[in-house]
């Protein structure tokens, strides 16, 4: 038996009513679209492992800008694909590096677009690791010096925000200090605060050419068995001056999104990574799921867990869904 006067279904009786009482609301302004900028000219190539996503040379970025504007997406995060790599990843902080070129081109084409840059070295090192090697290990303290140099070079090129993804200890403090010392006190840091050594990164590593040539990244990216350690990492980044904390990946780590939202006062971002996107695409192509429905449902779950910001390859499609009211 149930109490006749208590009927939760009353608030589900019409589409208009369901929209009015929704607990989780999304906005296109909360979406960030990852963009891959490739060194060269005339490059506009679909990424096989990420259907619907492209490599753009700087002269082709107008295509990305047109697509973003058409869907109402105004925030991007840039990843660079250089032609040349070396042991220390020197192309990452070069004044004419590929990300620096990309920033300047986007700002020329679309001054209103908010440009965030990934600060890491894995796309630029010949060995594919996220820093300077000492033997077969990444030297933490040498690496953070270079990461700070990369962040300053991005800010000098016009980046609105920098996002260190390397998971070195102390890198947020080093970057904050370098930005401030070089007159970029207004450039915020979105820290990959809890970045796990995940199996969901495969398509990205293919797209960015950033797979390590030996070993793995488990000595610096987090063990996916641990959650208390992630809270500690986030707390350290808060102390060091991060402005936004990010959890990566999103789907399998919603418990961390929730915990960070409850514990810290900073905005929380989540990255729906390449493997999450590719799985939805592959299952939809096989006729196993409704791509649009799963895209919407998975995005809402991330915001429902507490995310304020979502980095997603579905940014354009989700912005359309929000405007249509399907998930807004």
Please check the confidence at residue 100 and state whether its pLDDT lies above 90.
yes
Task: Reply yes or no: is the peptide bond before residue 249 cis, omega within 30 of 0.
Answer: yes
Query: What span, in angstroms and rounded, lies between the C-alpha atoms of 159 and 102?
Result: 10
Q: What is the mean pLDDT of residues 217-244?
A: 93
The bridge status of strand 50-56 relative to strand 44-47 is: antiparallel
Q: Work out the percent of the chain whose per-residue pLDDT is above 90.
A: 77
Please check the confidence at residue 215 and state whether its pLDDT lies above 60.
no
Query: Is 85 designated active site?
Result: no
- Of 155, 213, 140, 147, give the one whose Cα is nearest residue 187: 155
Strand ranges (DSSP E) for the chain?
A: 31-38, 44-47, 50-56, 75-81, 114-119, 133-134, 137-138, 161-164, 190-195, 244-248, 268-272, 309-312
pLDDT of amino acid 315: 98
**pLDDT tens column, 37-71:** 999 999 999 999 999 999 999 999 999 999 999 99
Q: Please identify which of the residues 248, 261, 281, 285 carries the catalytic annotation.
A: 248
Distances (CA, A) of 121 to 79, 133, 148, 166: 10, 11, 11, 8
Query: What span, in angstroms and rounded, lies between the C-alpha atoms of 281 and 311?
Result: 17
Q: Please identify which of the residues 83, 85, 105, 195 carries the catalytic annotation.
A: 195
Query: What span, in angstroms and rounded, lies between the C-alpha atoms of 101 and 74?
Result: 19
Residue with tokens 């060194």: 39
Q: Work out the percent of the chain whose per-residue pLDDT is above 70.
A: 96
CA angle 300, 302, 304 (to 5 degrees): 65
Spatial neighbors of 298 by CB under 8 A, at least 6 apart, are: 251, 272, 276, 280
Question: 114 and 154 in contact (C-beta within 8 Å)?
Answer: no
Q: What is the mean pLDDT of residues 226-234?
A: 97
**pLDDT tens column, 14-23:** 988 888 888 8
Confidence of residue 129 (pLDDT cuts 50, 70, 90): confident
Report pTM: 0.93
163-190 burial code (b ≥16 CB/10 A, e <16): bbbbbbeebbbbbbebbeebebeebbbb
Question: 247 and 271 in contact (C-beta within 8 Å)?
Answer: yes
pLDDT of amino acid 207: 73
Query: Is 248 designated active site?
Result: yes
Confidence of residue 209 (pLDDT cuts 50, 70, 90): low
The bridge status of strand 161-164 relative to strand 44-47 is: unpaired
């Amino acid at each position: 038996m149930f109490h006749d006067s208590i009927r939760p279904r009353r608030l589900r009786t019409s589409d208009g009513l369901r929209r009015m009482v929704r607990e989780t609301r999304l906005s296109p302004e909360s979406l960030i679209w990852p963009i891959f900028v490739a060194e060269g000219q005339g490059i506009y190539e679909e990424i096989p492992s990420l259907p619907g996503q492209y490599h753009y040379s700087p002269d082709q970025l107008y295509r990305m800008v047109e697509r973003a504007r058409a869907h109402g997406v105004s925030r991007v995060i840039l990843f660079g694909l250089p032609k040349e790599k070396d042991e220390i990843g020197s192309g990452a902080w070069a004044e004419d590096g590929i990300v620096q070129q990309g920033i300047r081109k986007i700002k020329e084409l679309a001054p209103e677009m908010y440009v965030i840059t990934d600060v890491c070295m894995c796309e630029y090192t010949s060995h594919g690791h996220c820093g300077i090697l000492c033997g077969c290990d990444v030297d933490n303290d040498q690496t953070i010096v270079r990461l700070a140099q990369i962040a300053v070079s991005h800010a000098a090129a016009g980046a609105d925000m920098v996002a260190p993804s390397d998971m070195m200890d102390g890198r947020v403090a080093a970057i904050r200090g370098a930005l401030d010392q070089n007159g970029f006190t207004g450039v915020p840091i979105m820290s990959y605060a809890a970045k796990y050594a995940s199996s969901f990164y495969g398509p990205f590593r293919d797209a960015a050419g950033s797979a390590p040539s030996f070993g793995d990244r488990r000595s610096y990216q987090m063990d996916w068995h641990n959650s208390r350690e992630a809270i500690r990492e986030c707390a350290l980044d808060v102390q060091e001056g991060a402005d936004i904390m990010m959890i990566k990946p999103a789907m399998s780590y919603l418990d961390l999104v929730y915990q960070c939202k409850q514990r810290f006062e900073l905005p929380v971002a989540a990255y729906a990574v390449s493997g999450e996107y590719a799985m939805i695409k592959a299952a939809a192509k096989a006729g196993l799921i409704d791509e649009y429905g799963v895209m919407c449902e998975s995005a809402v779950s991330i915001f429902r867990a507490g995310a304020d910001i979502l980095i997603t390859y579905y940014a354009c499609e989700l912005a359309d869904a929000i405007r249509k009211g399907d998930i807004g």
